[in-house]
Amino acid sequence: MKFEIDIRMPDVTDQQKGIDFRRRRVYTKSKVLAARDFLRWNLKPYAPEVPILGALRLVVKCYYAYNKTEKKDIVKNRIIYPRSTRPDWDNIGKGLCDILADLKFFENDAQIYSGTIEKYWAPFDKIEIEISSTF
């Protein structure tokens, strides 16, 4: 199963928690909840009717539109190059896997034996997701 969505991957991840020292608790920030809901809402139309079974390979490519300060020759030539800034690739993967599991793309993220997260600067915002089963 392979699909792409023309949206920007949120820059906030589930690992960005808030701490309430008065109540002595850790909580999920509202912007993290909003980002999670945004992804869930955009991924829901692609969810399979039946979860994918077996050992899975997951490949995610996140394309982020250039910043306004990007060099003119890069923008003009529409060059795609690796993004080495936040959010961290591992935080993107864990949050996304949790959402995919909630939407029943697969039973449990423990099924994923191989996962690749790639981040790029590009002239557009897009997320490409490929889930393949070994059986």
Question: With 80 as the cut, is the pLDDT of residue 135 above it?
Answer: no
Residue with tokens 């002239």: 123
List the single range of 3-7, 65-69, 129-133 with lowest mean pLDDT.
Answer: 65-69
Nearest-5° angle of CA 132, CA 39, CA 87? 90
pLDDT at position 67 is 85
- Percent of residues, the chain, with pLDDT higher than 90: 64
CATH code of the domain covering residue 92:
3.30.1330.70
How many domains does the chain contain in total? Answer: 1
For residues 93-120, give the mean pLDDT. Answer: 95
Highest-scoring range by mean pLDDT, 3-7, 16-20, 66-70: 3-7
Residues 109-124 have a mean pLDDT of 95
65 has a pLDDT exceeding 80: yes
* 86-90 mean pLDDT: 89
First to last CA, the chain: 13
Bridge partners of 56? 112, 133
Q: How high is the pLDDT of residue 14?
A: 73
Cis geometry, peptide bond prior to residue 87 (ω within 30 degrees of 0): yes
Higher-confidence position of 26 and 106: 106
Domain that holds residue 95: 2-133
